[in-house]
Structure 1
Amino acid sequence: MAARLSSGENRLVSLPLSRIRVIMKSSPEVSSINQDALFLTAKATELFVQYLATYSYKHGKGNEKNALTYSDLSHTAEEYILPKKILASKYLKMLEKEKRDGEVGEDEEEDEEEEDEDETVDEDAGS
């Protein structure tokens, strides 16, 4: 599909593919970039920026002035895209709590499975 992009087909994306290739190659894990992957990354980035701008405009204060402001974009990114800032100690406590809750949940599942097995045995014995 996009592997053989002609100059006319390059218009399917607005972002410069050469710049996106440079950004992708800046990652040490990337050795080569498939043309389809480059195109899809460019298109996904374009759609994300479009969504971010539209959402920020509709829900921002710039909407009143018929303008998209930096504060609208930064507020949207801070509230809906970027993870909330927390202290490492608080995060570790959350992980520990999730681990404890997960172990309790696993014990409950095992108990339910044992009860199901007991019911199956009882039903078979009654036949």
Structure 2
Amino acid sequence: MDDSAFHIRLAREKREGTLREFSARAYSNTADLALKAVEQAIEAVAAKHDIHFHTRPRTAHAERRNWVKENLPQVFDHLRILWDAYGRLGYGGTDGTRAKKALDAMEDALNEIGKSAGIKFI
């Protein structure tokens, strides 16, 4: 089943949330939502190929990462930045510079994913 439209909507919603949280200086939320926005965008593209990582939550992150490496290698470095920010900002969450890097990585990743899949996330 192609549920890509659902994931596209969630990616856009989480992107908007990322922008709001960054403006509010809620930096741990910024990193969390930025990562989730990109994960939803990846899910949207994968869903077009009948791949659904979210149905296996225990292995979803590893499977998604491996799939990105193989199918969207231009996004992989952005994903690494997001995971780093998510981990570091989840404990203390006061680093605005790191949150800005996460926001920028999200925007770059969404642009790359959108360009390769013909989907407008931004």
> Where on the TM-score scale, by shorter chain, does this alignment land: which range?
under 0.3
Q: Which structure exhibits the higher relative contact order, with contacts defined as CA atoms closer than 8 Å and separated by 6 or more residues? A: 2
Rg (Cα) greater in structure: 1
**What is the TM-score when the length of structure 2 is the normalising length?**
0.27
